Every structure is written in C-alpha cells, then in structure tokens.
Chain A
Amino acid sequence: MRNNINILGFLSILAFTSCEEVIDIETKEQEPVVVIEASITDRTERQTIYLSQTVPFNQSFQTVPLRSATVRVTETGGPTLTFTEDQPGVYRSTIFKGGYGKTYNLSVTVNGKTYTATSKMPNKVSLDSLSVSEVTFFGETRKYVKVHYQDPVNEVNAYRYILSINGERLKDFFIDSDRFNNGNYVDNTIFNDEPEIKAGDEIMIDFQNITPEIYRYFFAITQIEGNGGPPVAPSNPDTNLSNGALGYFSTHTSDKRVFRVR
C-alpha cells in the first residue's frame, strides 16, 4: 500500500524542473534524552537491550552509550532476568526464551531515573516461504523480496520484517498489519529502497510477529518520513516506555531465514 511513491513519480513527470538541494537551518541544542531499545524474543538466546542517549542533529553521529545502568525484566508471575553490561550500552541476560502470551515488565535505572514498560508476547506466526518477484515502476524493473505466510484469523496481528542483504542490515523499517487481510494466506512484497537486489545476493530475513503497540510505534516513524498517513507535524512516536524515554520495549516472535537469490 505504498502508493505515495508512485504518485511522486507522476509528479516528477509533470514537474520536469524539480530538483533537490541541501539547505541549512540552525537548530537549537537540547538536553540529551535516554533511548532504550529493548526486546524479549522467543529465541533461546541471551536477550539484548541497548541503552544510549540522543545527540544534537547537526553533530556527526556518535552513539553515546549509557553505562552502568540497572536493567531487569520480570515475567508476570515468573522469573526475573537480570541484564549485565556486555559492551558499553549493550546489556545482555542469561540464555532465556520468551513465552507466548506471557507479560514482561521492563525496568531500567540509569543516572538516578527509572524507566519502565510492559509488553505481552504474541503467539507465534511462522514464515512459510520467501521468494523474489520482479516489479516495474517507470520503466525500471527491480527484484524485491516477497514473504509468504498464513495470517491467523482469530487475533489481531502485526509484523516486522528485518532484511539483510549480503550481511548488511537494511535501514528501512518494514512493518505490516493484518488490518486488510486478516486470516488470509499473505504474499507481501517488501519494497526496499537501497541496495537493489541482484542475482547471487544472500538475503536474510528476521520475520517477527510484533504487538499492535509496537506496530503503531514504527508506523508513526515511517509516517514522519512521509510513507503515508496524515500530515502530522513530525514528533516523537508514542512509546510504551515511561518517564519520557525514547525507544520501545517489544516482545516479539522471531523466525530467521537465509536464502540466495537466483
């Protein structure tokens, strides 16, 4: 449903004089804000949580890790996982597998402030298969990855696809929901921007069943980037984290596959 891309193509036909230019707007500097990227998955592995803080827009990017934080995840009516700092700003638990339908409570204490969030792990939806399809837009035929899976009919489902090409993780956020195809066998084309997929490429996909809350979080980000939705002035997406932290706490299933494009 990414129709706006096509419309922009039409506009460029009409406006044969269009052009792009970098401009300079002086921005104010703000106090750094805590960024938490936390997930619990259904993979049996060390669960990982990333802590960092914002940097000014005009600065060359350097991730500023947040160190010496106390990070815990408690399963409601279950065990508590303690995370230890593995690398600066990267906190890992012992080996653990998230349980379907279980509720997890995150607590992060850093620089004297505590941030919390709660999320429930959805049921597993498995990826059936992957394929590559060719699509032509404005005379340009490109290969795109297609995912095939059976959407469960009795629940509201949302998905995130993390795509890597030849070991390089793509920067786009690919999300989908079953709002228009609930209960169906789904064949979805993932329209990635760069790089173009070629024969011989090794594709890896992490197919995730995410909560509707996290779907909305990423939808808001893609909307700000102009990928559909009404013209809200850009703002920070609503998050399940408390106390003004940026980022999210996601509990999701994960189905990783690798295949080579022929």
Chain B
Amino acid sequence: MYFKNIAFTIILIIFTFPAFAQKIYSLNGVITDAQTGETLIGASVKLSGVKQAGTTTNAYGYFSISLPQGTYDLAITYVGYKAIIKKIDLNANLKLDFSLEPAAQLEEIVVSSVKRNDNVTNPQMGVEKLDVKDIKSIPVLFGERDILKTLQLLPGIKPAGDGNSGFYVRGGAIDQNLILLDEAPVYNASHLLGFFSTFNSDAIKDVTVYKGGMPAQYGGRLSSVLDIRMNDGNKNDFTAEGGIGLISSRLKVEGPIQKEKSSFMISGRRTYADAFLAFAPDTSLRGNTLFFYDLNAKTNFKLNDKNTLYISGYFGRDKLGLNQAFGFDWGNTTATLRWSHIFSNRLFSNTSFIYSNYDYVIENQLEGNDFKVSSIIRDFNLKQDFQYALNNHDIRFGINAIHHTIEPGRITASENSSVNPATVENRRGLETAIYVSDEWKASDKFNLAYGLRLSSFALLGAGNFKEYDSDGNEINSTFYSAGELVKTYFNLEPRLSASYQFNENKSVKGSYTRNTQNLHLMSNSTATSPTDIYILSSNNTRPEIADQVALGYFSNFKDNTYEFSAEVYYKWMQNQIEYRNGTDLRGNQNVEADLLYGDGRAYGIELFLKKRFGDFNGWIGYTLSKTERQFDQINNGKWFNAFQDRTHDISLVGIYKASKRWTLSSTFVYNTGNAITVPEGKYQLGGTTVFYYSERNAYRAPDYHRLDFSATLEGKPGKKYQSSWSFGIYNVYNRKNVFSLSYEENPNNPAQTQIVKTALFGIIPSVTWNFKF
C-alpha cells in the first residue's frame, strides 16, 4: 500500500530533524507593501552563500527559512515591486521584516538581476495565480471587473455559459470547486442569476486556483480550490477609491486604526439596473426590482510581534421582485476570525473560526396561492494550521472541522392560501480532516511536495433516514435522534507532486492527487442558479472521489520574460450524481430516491504561453480535452459526453501599455460547443409534438467565440487625487453565441420541426469612471 509508504516517509522525516550536526539557524519575518502596510502573499525570499535556498511568503505574508551558519546574499522580490538585495550574517536565529516599494513601471523589475522562475522550480503544478492588476485591465461583460470571469481565460478553466461566472475545471462539475473567501466557503459565488461573481475585485488582494495537485491543507471538493484573500486595509494612510459604471457603483475606504498596528478596509458595491426601471415608459415595469449589493469588510490588529488578529466578513444579497406577484432574494454571508501566532522562528500557527451561510427565499404573492419557500445552508468551521520550517523542509500540518446544517426547503403560506406549510427535514453533518504535508527541497534539482489528508464525514441526526434500492424504491426508514451518528465515511487522500529541474529555466513535474467530496449540489439549472440546494453524503449517496495524475513541462525563456507550460492530466471520478427522468427538486423530502450514481473520467492537455513583462504582455492558452460519464441507467450504460465536454478551448489575452496614460487590452475566446442531446425523431400525443431521443449528448452546439476590447485612460499622474476612465466593448463582432437551444414546431408550418437558439449578449459597450484619493 502506497499510503503506508507515504505515511512512513512523513514520520521518518519528522523524527529525523534534530539529527543534523551542523549549526542551523532560521531567518523569518513578514513582508509588506511599504505604502499600504498590506502583507504580500507569495513574495520570494532567496538566499545564496554556503548554500542556496529560497521560499515564498505564506497567505499571511510570513516566511521562515533555515540554513547553516554563514554569510548570505538575500534577495526579496515580488512582481510589481522593487527588489531588496542585501547581505546578512546568519549566526543566530533572525527575525527580519521587509517593506517593498511598489515599482512605478513593471519593466524595472526585469532590470534587477534576480531570476523569477518559481513556476519552474516550485514542485506545485496545476496552480495559477491571478494578478489583481491583470484583472483590472482585462475586458469583461458590462465593464464589471470580475475575478471569476478572468479566471475562465486560463487553460483548463471554462465558463458555465455565456457571461456566466460559474466554471468547470478539468471536466469537473460546478459544485466541485471549493471557493474560499478568506478561508470561508462561498456556496453561491454569483449575482444576478450567474452574470456577476460575488467577488468585488476592489476588496481582493490575492487569487490562487489549484486545478490539481492541491496541497493537503485543502479538501472537500473534487475539481479545484479557488483561494481568494481580501485586502487587510492600509496600515499607513487613509485612502478611498471607487467607480461608477454602467451596471454598478463601488466604493472602498481603508486606513489605519492605530498606525502600523491595526487597520480596516470596507468595500461595497450596488447595481442599479432597476433604477432605470423607474423611468420606464411602461408604468407596469416600474414596480419591478432587480439589484444586488455586497459588502466586504476586514480589520486586523497586530497585538505584538508574535500575534495578529484578523476579522473579515462578506455580506451580499440579490433581490428580484415582480410587481405584487413574485419575489426572490438570495445571498451569502461569511465571517472569519483568525489568529496568527508565531510560536518560534520556525513554527507559525494560524487558528481560524469561520462562519458561512447561503440562503434564498422565493415568494409568490398570487392571491389564493401565496407561499414562501426558504432554504439555508450554514457552516461553522474551525481550522488549526501549523507551518514548520526546517532546513530544506517546509512542513504543514493541522486539523479542520466543519459542521454543516442544511434546511433544504421550508414552505410557509398565509391562512387563505391553498398551499400547505411544509418543511423538508434538516440535515446535519460533520466533516473533519487531519493533514500533514512537506515541501522538501531534496536537492538543487529535485523538489518534492507530498502530504496526506485523512478526511471523515459523519451524517448526524435528528431525522428519518431512508434507504433506497437501485430503482429508487424505499427499502427502509430509521429515525435517529439529535446528534446520533447515521453514517460515517473515512477517506485517505494522498497528495504528491515533484519537480525535476534540468536547469534554471526548464523542469518537469508530476503529481498525483486524491480528493473527496461529501457535499453534493442539487442544481435546478445547468449554470449557477440561486435555487441551488445541497445534500450530504448518506446511506444512499457515497462520497464523490477523484484521482488525478498530471505531468508537466515548464520552461522560461528570454530572462524569464516568457513562461511556457504544457500539462497533461487524467482524472477518474467515482460516485457522480445524475437525476432520474421527471425529478422534481422542489420541496422534495425524498430527493435521493431520484438520484443515479455513476463514474466519470476526464483527460486533456493544456498549453500555456505567457509574456510577463514589457509594454506588451498577455497570454495564449489552449486546451484539448475530453470529459465523460457512465451511469448504468443512462444511455444504455454506455459512456457519454458530459455537457461541459468542449474539445478545443483557446483563449488569447493581450494587454498593451500604449502610453503613460493609455492601456489597451483585448481578449479572444473560442471553444467547441457543448455536448448536447438532440431529438432524432418525433411523435404526437393528443395533437402535441413530443420528441424522441436516442443517445445522450451525442451532438454539438455551435462553436462559441467572442472578441472583447477595453481601453483605460489614467488621469494625469502626480495629483493627490487620481481618476481613470475604462471603456469596453463586449463581443465586438456581435457573434450570436448560444445561450440555450430549444426544439420547436415551425410556427408557419406545424408539420415541420426546428432547432432554435437563443443568444443573450450581442455587442455591448460599457464605460466606467474610477477614482482614488
């Protein structure tokens, strides 16, 4: 058993640390932005002398590195900042904090002699980091900067639909992405029925996405981890920035509470599409509402050199109302309380208490039939994470416990209504995990990141828990009282990735990852939908399991100006879920009776070429892939294409700094149409045409392609107050891309049937005014 071998290796490493004879000292500290005091995530720390070593700062800007006694050249670098290069004598444990000055021009960094080739040396693969600066200059729908839509321009990450913020990673489903905002899971990351993401990019500091090879501290979803960190708030000065756009306006305020010790950041956004409705010539439109708002807030207190406290939160809400007939609102709430503590110069600890909530309410106000449906998923989450640096090892271990409460549906109605009040039983579950991982620089050429995560899931009472046979018939029902264990699952998840460097600019990497998932989305839509409900693993629904192997070649050239990578992957998925025909999810107590379980597989190759510096930068991504499913009861048990199977996927991104004030950018995307099921025959029932289908998803929707432009004009520099204009054109050549397809009778000739496509977004111009002072 390879699990045992890995566990043994980890134990061996942990217990052999004290055995080094040479005097080893550690250097640790925090790296911050000199202007805002904001900690920098992923800044590079390199030492060369008796030995060569390097590390990067963690999510809290903290780094720790251990080396033999001696004199070293220290280089601290971070994209967009001036490097710090100095000599240090390491003859005792040292704590050194650094502040980096932002560079006015990106080119200055290239001039520094420091090589930035982390993408080549780091054993981690399948990882992409988004530069928040890139997000600001890449064109998107309605000029609304959007992290999730910018992510979809990377290879292996594909949008759920035109203009949709939902995404598929390497052939997985939408619910198989773990989306974390300051460690808190966000259950429905979209606004306005999927067209905007819940993440206001003003409030975001860092975005990292793992498509495979997830480090052991992450778990709970099959496909990807999207780790989003909010800004901490400017520790030195008060600043305000914001923007007025076509769809929404934004405002962010940040500043110190106590200089250099504590700060706050608060950022809000609201759309006003409905404000225009008030001026609608059609008076009946005026009674409708349609808007969303969200609020991000964060504050931090540096208690002393060793202790920092962070409190952050998100609150967002969408509201949709139709005169006096219909109302619908939904939103996420998250809160994170985090305590970072430095035990010693080698041991860094992070304790977090996290709350997540997603809920929706649908209201029907039709007289005599009024009702209200509400649904909630709520988590309490405790995380304890340790990072221990020793010599060539970067060790991480910890525990995580999440308690889930799901209220799938509660129906209430007035006394005059013909609708009966009803409640689908609540479900509770406890997900726990312990993990340990080590990033080991085994030699100058060989790096290894390996870890093990033991995850468990316990389904808890109270309630009636049923079991169903393969036809969905109930075979037994047992009542469990509150807190009683209904079902427990344990899963061992090995994580392994390794890199071998041929030279400074070329490496190969390989990885193997197992992920499991105990929270399963029951969606009412192919895209992200506000009425999403979740179910937990149970007697009927087993944990979803994915095993992924990946192999990659990484190369930088022209002094690290260009990055190239090629990754191939193969993923096996077990216990995937589909619905039986005629499943009704609304207020359904026995939804599991309607589920089918099967397998999935996904494989592909992703090519990526990026130019990182210069007046012109950007990237080209190409993915060739396949993703399929197999269910005994579907398609006669034969493998069929998943809906999101898109053979070819190309994205081009170009950003050009035309002058000191003008930045131009453009994106082009192309992908093969979704795999769809098209009727091959038809028949009539009582005079109505009904379609006959044979194979599932055997046809293709038309190809998708789109070109977008955007231009940003910065205000004259040097003033206290800065402003900029952003102009954008979405879908420049007005391509009518498919939003949905329907099969209909020809209205002019009912004997003839036809396929009708609906295209949602044609050419859409946008303009946004941004300010900062």
Our pick among B273, B525, B756 for the contact of A14 (Cβ within 8 Å) is B273
The answer to whether B582 touches A14 (Cβ under 8 A) is no
Question: A231 interface residue, CB < 8 Å from B?
Answer: yes
Cβ contact within 8 Å between A17 and B681? no
Chain B positions within 8 Å of A233 at CB level: 643, 676-677, 696-697
Please, how many angstroms separate the alpha-carbon atoms of A220 and B584 in the complex? 9
For the complex formed, measure the closest distance between the CB of A50 and the CB atoms of chain B, giving whole angstroms. Answer: 8
Contact A55 B326 (CB under 8 A): no
A23 interface hit (Cβ, 8 Å): yes
Are A138 and B285 interface neighbours, CB within 8 A? yes
Which one of B284, B682, B697, B756 lies within 8 Å of A136 (CB-CB)?
B284
Q: Is the CB of B683 within 8 A of A25?
A: no
State the Cβ distance, B367 to closest chain A Cβ, in Å. Answer: 9
CA distance A23 to B756 in the complex (A): 6
Tell me the residues in window 132-177 of chain A with beta carbons closer than 8 Å to chain B beta carbons.
135-140, 162, 169, 171-173
Chain A window 176-189, contacts with chain B (Cβ cutoff 8 Å), 1 for yes, 0 for no: 00011111111111
Q: Are B419 and A230 in contact (CB under 8 A)?
A: no
- B754 contacts partner chain A, Cβ-Cβ < 8 Å: yes
- Least CB separation from B635: chain A residue: A235
Q: Is the CB of B369 within 8 A of A23?
A: no
Set of chain A residues within 8 Å of B85, measured between Cβ atoms: none
Query: B582 contacts which chain A residues (CB < 8 A)?
Result: 216-217, 219-220, 223, 229, 237-238
Residues of B with C-beta under 8 A to A140: 284
Known A-B contacts A60-B752, A136-B284, A181-B420; the reply to A234 vs B677 at CB < 8 A is yes
Partner of B680, one of A11, A56, A63: A56
User: Is B751 engaged at the interface, CB distance under 8 Å to the other chain?
Assistant: yes
Cβ contacts under 8 Å, B678 to chain A: 25, 27, 57
Confirm or deny: B353 has a beta carbon within 8 angstroms of a beta carbon on chain A.
no
Residue contact B691 to A19, C-beta cutoff 8 Å: no
User: Do the beta carbons of B691 and A234 come within 8 Å of each other?
Assistant: yes
Which residue of chain A lies nearest to B758 when distances are taken between CB atoms in the complex? A20
Closest to B584 in A: A229
Q: How far is the CA of A15 from the CA of B764 in the complex (A)?
A: 9
Interface string of A67-106 (1 = CB under 8 A from B): 0000000000000000000000000000000000000000
Separation of A238 and B48 alpha carbons in the complex (Å): 70
Q: Kindly specify which of B317-325, B390-398, B495-503, B608-616 makes contact with the partner chain.
A: B317-325
Picked from A13, A24, A220, A236, the residue with its CB within 8 Å of the CB of B692 is A236
Asked if A23 and B760 make an inter-chain contact with CB atoms under 8 angstroms apart, the answer reads: no
Report the minimal beta-carbon distance from A173 to chain B, rounded to whole angstroms: 7
Indicate if the CB atoms of A52 and B683 lie closer than 8 Å. yes
Contacting pair A61 B684 (CB below 8 A): yes
Residues facing A in B707-745 (CB within 8 A) are: 736, 739-743
Residues of A within 8 Å of B634, CB to CB, are 235
Minimal beta-carbon separation of B676 from chain A (angstroms): 7
Asked if residues B683 and A54 are in contact (CB atoms below 8 Å), the reply is yes
CB distance from A174 to the nearest CB of B (A): 11
Provide the bound-state CA to CA distance between A63 and B751, in Å.
10
Are B325 and A136 neighbours in the complex by a CB distance under 8 Å? yes
Give CA–CA (A62, B683) in the complex, Å.
9
A6 to B683, CA, bound (A): 30
A29 to B756, CA, bound (A): 20
Contact B284 A139 (CB under 8 A): yes
Stretch in B333-341, B509-517, B573-581 with 4+ CB within 8 Å of A: B573-581
A61:B677 contact, CB within 8 angstroms: no
* B contact residues vs A (CB 8 Å cutoff): 192-193, 195, 273, 277, 282-285, 288, 290, 320, 322-323, 325-326, 328, 362, 364, 366, 368-369, 371, 411, 418-420, 422, 522-526, 578-587, 634, 643, 676-694, 696-697, 699-700, 702, 736, 739-743, 749-764
Question: Can you pick out 29 interface pairs between chain A and chain B where the beta carbons lie within 8 Å of each other?
Answer: A10-B193, A11-B193, A11-B760, A14-B273, A17-B760, A18-B758, A18-B761, A18-B762, A22-B757, A27-B680, A30-B694, A37-B686, A52-B684, A60-B749, A171-B689, A184-B418, A184-B420, A216-B582, A223-B582, A228-B586, A229-B524, A229-B583, A231-B643, A233-B696, A234-B677, A236-B581, A237-B581, A246-B690, A246-B692
Interchain residue pairs A-B with the least CB separation, the first 5: A139-B284, A220-B582, A17-B762, A54-B681, A61-B751
Beyond the given pairs A19-B736, A23-B756, A247-B683, 18 more chain A to chain B contacts, judged by CB atoms under 8 angstroms and listed by A's residue number, are A3-B326, A6-B322, A6-B326, A21-B756, A27-B699, A54-B681, A55-B681, A57-B692, A57-B743, A61-B682, A139-B284, A180-B419, A180-B420, A189-B366, A219-B584, A225-B742, A230-B525, A232-B581
Residues of A within 8 A of B (CB): 1, 3, 6-7, 9-11, 13-15, 17-25, 27-30, 32-33, 35, 37, 52-58, 60-63, 135-140, 162, 169, 171-173, 179-189, 216-217, 219-221, 223-226, 228-238, 246-248
